Amino acid sequence: MNIVNASLETWSADTGPVIPTTPLVNFLQTLQETSLKTFGPKNFDPKMYVDLSLKSNLSTTLDAFDKLPRYANGAISVLDLSKFIDDYFEGAGDDLVYADPPDFVPAPDGFLPKVENSQVRAWALEVHSLWKNLSRKVSDSVLNRPEFHTLLPLPGPVVIPGSRFKEVYYWDSYWVIRGLMASKMYATAKSIVTNLISFIDTYGHVLSGSRAYYTSRSQPPLLSAMIHEIYKRTGDLELVRKALPALLKEYQFWNTGIHSVTIQDSQASSHKLSRYYVMWTKPRPESATIDKAFASKILNDSEKQHFYREVASTTESGWDFSTRWMRNTSDITTLSTTSILPVDLNVFVLRMELDIAFFAKVVGDNKTAESFLEASQTRKWAINSVFWNEEKGQWLDYWFDNGATLEECQAWQASNQNHNAYASNYLPLWIDLFNSDTCLVKKVKKSLESSGLVCAVGIATSLINSGNQWDYPNGWAPLQHMIIEGLLRSGSEEARAMAEDIAVRWIRTNYVAYKKTGAMHEKYNVEKCGDFGGGGEYIPQTGFGWSNGVVLALLEEFGWPRDLKIDCQ
């Protein structure tokens, strides 16, 4: 029997401190709600309104807003509200301006040497050229008048995902950087990392994105992995020295207080693991109108606040939204992310432990290196003890008992593992501590083959077609890449063949969709070659940072033979 309790220190489950938003964000939320009433729901994107920047000070803008003529029901006419927005605001995203990347060249030396097919090479160079389109820097107005903006000041240029995502994002940046490595754009990659480190210096963690309304939440912690990739290519010891103190601080963020959970078994062996948990009890500013609509069916105020916390915590996972986090897979108000120990988060923290151990050794800090190597072995044991399911050959998320608080002790039960198939169930393979075990890889590969997740053109996120974007039939570049890379690193010929087969299918669907639409997409429909994904709370996006990065990384690894067709088969 295992016992579960949470290390909450001075935090309580629902009354802990909430990081406040700025007065500008608060007003922009009001503008967002007013705009929905005035303009209607068609093509309405709530994020656009909280990304606006002021032309003059907030008090003047507020005064003008209050003086707008209103109908008896309080509504404002389309003409009046449109004129007000034009008169008092710069456009959403105008505070990030184009930055010409200094290390971009149209055809880098040694670019994708394994790509022999001229058609694929020409396309890969077009994808490579998208880095120029997605490069940005913070405008001088943000640095001079930060109170006019929800965009946060940054020390250097960034690469954005694209479309509505007009700022740098945390976990997206790992796969952007993997693509930048293939494109030989090391300075651009280092600039991204420098910006993310600046968040840790200011806030104690990496923000999910560079907006004032993101300060309370992070995203899957992959900063150490980004730095490791850059170091492998460049040997930049100074970057490692600069990053190590920040990484130690980020490690504390994910392993103490509200993020830390300890599971104790009957032999008094403790397993310390991490979870997603955001100190937030209000609608997300960038999606406030959506959150309020979902919460409208919840009558109790404290239950509404709990729902808002679960929503924010789910966005910290990067998987917003998915049935993976819902007790009732057809009801988003049953999100329970803070009551789940996620497989993938603990894989990322394990990767952080291994990276910190490596960096500490590189800079000569053997004591820290030994400490983090020991921590990685401890977490590996915890991941296998809590998540591994021998019968299924997968690692399964662990749920706390419904209705129980984390201060209570609970008996560990196999039924508390989430037995639904998700791509995240296979992500431990990404770590060498797991993929180096030949027998384990054989078992997990067999499980993946029979799971139903491997579809016509990639790995589905789940098997549940819920209408949420992190569910079937959508496939996402990061999930393809981590599973492919894990299979590849295992050294098994059978696993490598499976990895290459999935990679070919994924590259092919990206290519065909690009030729059809002229764009790279945020996600793809894995059941149909050349079809981009859908679902979720916004229209499908193009650009697209991590999709570009994964295609380039896969082409660098596997290449493309001269006689292999790239069109749909």
Q: What is the pLDDT of residues 180-221, one digit of tens each?
A: 999 999 999 999 999 999 999 999 999 999 999 999 999 999
Beta strands (DSSP E) in 364-490 are 388-389, 394-395, 398-399, 410-411, 454-455, 458-459, 474-475
Q: Which residues are catalytic?
A: 320, 522
Residue 1: per-residue pLDDT? 37
Using left for φ > 0, alpha for ψ between -120 and 50, and beta otherwise, residue 364 falls in left
Residue 5: per-residue pLDDT? 42
Q: Which residues of the chain have pLDDT under 70?
A: 1-20, 265-268, 401-411
Q: For 340-363, what is each residue's pLDDT tens digit?
A: 999 999 999 999 999 999 999 999
pTM: 0.96
Residue 75: per-residue pLDDT? 87
Residue 429: per-residue pLDDT? 98
Cα–Cα distances in Å, from 64 out to 87, 243, 389? 10, 46, 61
Residue 13: per-residue pLDDT? 39
Using left for φ > 0, alpha for ψ between -120 and 50, and beta otherwise, residue 224 falls in alpha
CB 314 within 8 A of CB 335: yes
Q: How many CB atoms lie within 10 A of CB 331?
A: 12
Length of the chain: 569
* Residue recorded with tokens 């003409």: 79
Q: Which residues contact 509 (CB under 8 A, 6 or more apart)?
A: 457, 458, 524, 526, 529, 530, 531, 568
Residue 408: per-residue pLDDT? 52
Residue 414: per-residue pLDDT? 82
